[in-house]
Each structure stands twice: as structure tokens, then as C-alpha cells.
Amino acid sequence: MHELSIAQSIVDVAGAEARRLGASSVRVVYLAIGRLSGIEPGALLFSYELVAADTPLAGSRLVIEDIPIAIHCAPCAAIHELPGVNRFRCPVCDTPSGDIRRGRELDITGLEIDDGASTDFDSIDHDTSALGASQAPEIPA
């Protein structure tokens, strides 16, 4: 269950950002999780509650945005979303593609801190490499 270590990293990164902003607590942590990240959202939510206890993130909640899989199709010269993880073929022309453009993400995208302010994580100098999202292998065409 690698979700426990991922939850710990989320608490560490979000807690550090909250301290940098001078916040005493965090109310919401916003995440973007790709369908190929290897993360089970239910297990992550459970693990997060455990590791956030007795920290400035205690009682906060995770809001998870599900990021669908998208591949690039060379013949179509376009990026297409896929309906699932079992068929890596262009939904338009049926060409196989292992050129994955979205779906592996594990990003903290924002925080709501104790004063009600929201922080967009894209505007922050932060390193989320510690989150440890599994890199799904390329699916051969």
C-alpha cells in the first residue's frame, strides 16, 4: 500500500507550503491524480486521514481531480482522451499509440489555508517529486 507513503509526502509538502505562507492550518488540499498513476483514491483518502492527524493538516480534506488518459495519435496529429486503461488505440482512426500525454499525474494543485485563502500551486516554487507517483510503463503499440 504505497498510498501511505504518498499521503505522508502530501502532508509534508502541503505543510511546508502552509508554513511558508504563515498559515497555522490547512482546510483543503487539491490534487490531480492520473488514471495511470497507480494510486487508489480510496486508499489515499484513508491513509491521508491517518498521517494528517496531529499536524497542521489534521481535519483537512483532499479534493481529487481525476485526470483521464490521453494519447497522441500521429496519423491524426491530435491528442485524444481514452475511455479506459485497456485499449491504447486512437478512438478516431484506431491506430495503436503508446505516446501517453496525460494520465500519470500526481500533483498538488492548490491549498485552502486557515484564513480562507486559496493558493494555486502552479504559482508556487515547490518540488512535488517527493510525492512518488509511480510512473506507469509505456504500453507498446
Q: Which three cell numbers stand for residue 20?
A: 511558508
Contact 94, 59 (CB under 8 A): no
Tens-level pLDDT at each residue, the chain (141 residues): 699 999 999 999 999 999 999 998 999 999 999 999 999 999 999 999 999 999 999 999 999 999 999 999 999 999 999 998 899 999 999 999 999 999 999 999 999 998 655 666 654 444 444 454 433 333 333
Q: Which residues are annotated as a binding site?
A: 2, 73, 76, 90, 93
Q: Which residues are annotated as a binding site for Zn(2+)?
A: 73, 76, 90, 93
Rounded to 5 degrees, what are φ and ψ at 36?
A: -100, 10
* Domain ranges within the chain, ordered by starting residue: 2-114
* Of 70, 67, 54, 52, residue with least CA distance to 111: 52
Neighbours of 52 (CB within 10 A): 23
pTM comes to 0.78
Q: Strand locations in the chain, DSSP E? A: 26-34, 61-67, 70-73, 78-81, 100-102, 106-113, 118-120
Q: Which residues are annotated as a binding site for Ni(2+)?
A: 2
Q: What is the CATH number of domain 2-114?
A: 3.30.2320.80
3-state class (DSSP) for residue 5? helix
